[in-house]
Structure 1
């Protein structure tokens, strides 16, 4: 599977404005809501609850707040870039600049973990993280991620709902 099968250009915000963790999760939830089929408020609540269970901070200034929620139509992800960085997680984590939000239906545990793993593998690259921080538009960030993913491991595309319906 590819991360890009679950990330649309519309779900990328190259300039997050949040000044605290709660507002940041609200921003991510707003990016996820249209494709998830759930309200921003409800998604933000679930992201906060999951974050309370344990920090989703990774190395290199990356955090991947995620949740599994009944009512979410399909796996959806978003990417937010916080130029100034934001304290997220514990003080030992420092400032985060790249935030990937993810919401999945509860019955997709294996796929959920696979997508998380794919995201982590891509964002493990300091070169890619630095390049993302230099992007200025959602299209530019999406294109950069698509190129990086194609070179990491060329997985076949995960069929979308539209692909399945048109077979």
Structure 2
């Protein structure tokens, strides 16, 4: 069963993003993913920003998911960054974004790329989870929380499917 957290290493979690604007945040996210994606942070940031030019990846609830597909990347790589003050990121409801999930995928994984994005969106619609992410005491605690919530989500969906 597909799990977003399979693509999220604890080293790619940052509890205190520092940038105060959209471009800077994207560069920080690219820096969190570049080594595992085996691509330069500058190149990755350029692709993430190009995707943002097509339309903001911000969602209602203070979440944004900058993502792209990039040649040379061998597997999906994700990261999570938290910004305590929030950043104007073009959020759908006009608020500030506090939780950022970056993602880069190989070009030939369009279906998997979309499935991981859908899982991220489904989990982060939960307001209690978003609040808990903002107060996580460590990167490992944040990742563990996401694993726990995702496991519950996957198990619930499996039970619903079996009941049909």
Q: What TM-score do you get using the length of structure 2 for normalisation?
A: 0.91
Aligned residue-pair number: 156
In structure 2, the partner of 1:45 is 46
What is the DSSP-based 3-state SS (H/G/I as helix, E as strand, rest coil) of the residue aligned with 2:74? coil
Whole-angstrom CA distance in 1 between matches of 2:28 and 2:74: 20
1:63 paired residue number: 64
Tell me the equivalent position of 1:29.
Answer: 30
CA RMSD between the two structures: 1.5
**Structure 1 counterpart SS, 2:78:** strand
CA distance in 1, matches of 2:125, 2:34: 26
> Which residue of the partner structure matches residue 159 of structure 1?
none
Stretches of 4+ aligned residues off by more than 2 angstroms:
90-93
- Are the equivalent residues in 1 in contact too, given 2:5–2:146 (CA < 8 A)? yes
Return 5+ residue gaps in structure 2 as ranges.
159-164
Aligned residue for 1:8, secondary structure, equals strand
Match in the other structure for 1:11: 12
Match in the other structure for 1:119 = 120
Higher mean Cα deviation, 87-96 or 103-112? 87-96
Partner of 2:99: 98
Kindly indicate whether residue 156 of structure 2 is the aligned counterpart of residue 152 of structure 1. no
Unaligned 5+ runs, structure 1:
157-167
